[in-house]
Structure 1
């Protein structure tokens, strides 16, 4: 009798294993739900349903970029956990945000914490904090926590002020030092334009060990207007 108590039966062990597996899956499902909910709050209605499947291809160059991103989508967990980035650049209106968000949503679905912010909101939130009783750290702090952060159009259409440049650098540098994955989409034609727009310190950190893809095709909105 004592031997039976001290040595559970194979059936009992199997039940315990199934219970542990059920508990693990339940925790994973809750975490996935939280990650997707948090990201969707950032994305809003326009980008919430972005995927590679519903991205419209009208130029052969798009196919090459989408094919590269399909590979990344399959490897996104390893990519993010390694602290690697994604840098999409090119003409305005080419769907860079759509493409980046499609991969970002896959990361969230895999249970990785993911956030998205654009330059207007980032610098606006910092300005609001300064006008109140807050600080830049109140805005940047939460953006240092997620496994992956997408920064869309980090430079405002009017350009970037010295103050905003410092804010952007501090955010990028601190995530870089922590080996956190930071992605970026920006409207520049190449590395020279990116350095002029973002500054070499920011740009060099964003592209270090990152996948860089040039979205060189024409603006979707302009094409739709003409056709």
Structure 2
């Protein structure tokens, strides 16, 4: 029912000029409805209130949309539960070098739109337990939450296994499996050096990394091997491309996992 029809049912009896402190004078009408009577308020104030309520509703709908979109992207990112809550705030940077690397990763995430446009990635190499995966996942979490840009986390073994599984499956082709790693705006490729480094795996890796290189899509490579050994596990052609478009950080301090256990028995 329109507002005009509602007002006609209320039984207007008289009107008078009233002053609104904000909008000045307006004509107020006296209405009687059953045992209730009232004078109409400032129409400009009523319209402004309605506009505010429409704006608040729109903002609430937009916030709900972006929350769902963020959750969908986080789910698509395939971050394992153990790493899902890794952020820059939870990274323990106790030494100067750890603080520098944390700052570099934070800056990389903050400037990700520019890094994406330039295809600028990162190489995180060095000893186990030094926080490489933590920082790599923190970057991925940050770009999803702050920039609304999607990405994917995987280990090299999972990537190879998914591509190999297409040979015995009708659900996904090899090209589709490779595309799952070449299409995301950011790929975090962890655990390079854990698998066999066979010719087949090196070929899969080249297909993924070369496509990302040609499309200027950044990759964060995480590995426990030292810089001089990375070619063995990724192939010289891939390493040559990474040198061109990646910043390298070498994590060479003691593992944070040493001395950590469930307590004495």
Q: TM-score, normalised by structure 1?
A: 0.80
Partner of residue 181, structure 1: 218
Q: Is the 8 A contact 2:192 2:224 kept in 1?
A: no
Give the counterpart of 2:181 among 133, 143, 147.
143
1:43 is the counterpart of 2:75: no
Which structure 2 residues correspond to residues 83-122 of structure 1 after superposition, within 5 A? 83-109=119-145, 110-122=147-159
SS at match of 1:66: helix
Between stretches 167-176 and 140-149, larger displacement belongs to 140-149
Q: Is the 8 A contact 1:184 1:206 kept in 2?
A: no
Between stretches 178-187 and 60-69, larger displacement belongs to 60-69
RMSD between aligned residues: 2.8
Residue 61 of structure 1, CA deviation: 2.4
Q: Is the 8 A contact 1:76 1:103 kept in 2?
A: no
Give the counterpart of 1:155 among 187, 190, 193.
193
Separation in 2 of the partners of 1:35 and 1:106? 12
Q: Is the 8 A contact 1:85 1:207 kept in 2?
A: no
Q: Is the 8 A contact 1:123 1:164 kept in 2?
A: yes
Partner of residue 3, structure 1: none
Separation in 2 of the partners of 1:77 and 1:29? 20
Which structure 2 residues correspond to residues 1-227 of structure 1 after superposition, within 5 A? 28=66, 30-39=68-77, 42-109=78-145, 110-133=147-170, 134-157=172-195, 159-190=196-227, 192-224=228-260
Structure showing greater Rg = 2
Residue 24 of structure 1, CA deviation: 7.2
**Unpaired runs of at least 5, structure 1:** 1-10
Q: Is the 8 A contact 1:136 1:167 kept in 2?
A: no
Separation in 2 of the partners of 1:26 and 1:80? 27
SS at match of 2:91: coil
**Unpaired runs of at least 5, structure 2:** 1-46
Residue 121 of structure 1, CA deviation: 0.8
Separation in 2 of the partners of 1:144 and 1:61? 32
Separation in 1 of the partners of 2:95 and 2:233? 27
The alignment of Structure 1 onto Structure 2 pairs a total of residues equal to: 210
Residue 25 of structure 1, CA deviation: 6.7
Residue 58 of structure 1, CA deviation: 4.3
Q: What do the CA deviations read for 1:133-170 (whole angstroms, capped 9, x no partner)?
A: 4542231112222111111113334x311101100000
Q: Is the 8 A contact 2:231 2:239 kept in 1?
A: yes
Q: TM-score, normalised by structure 2?
A: 0.69
Separation in 2 of the partners of 1:26 and 1:82? 32
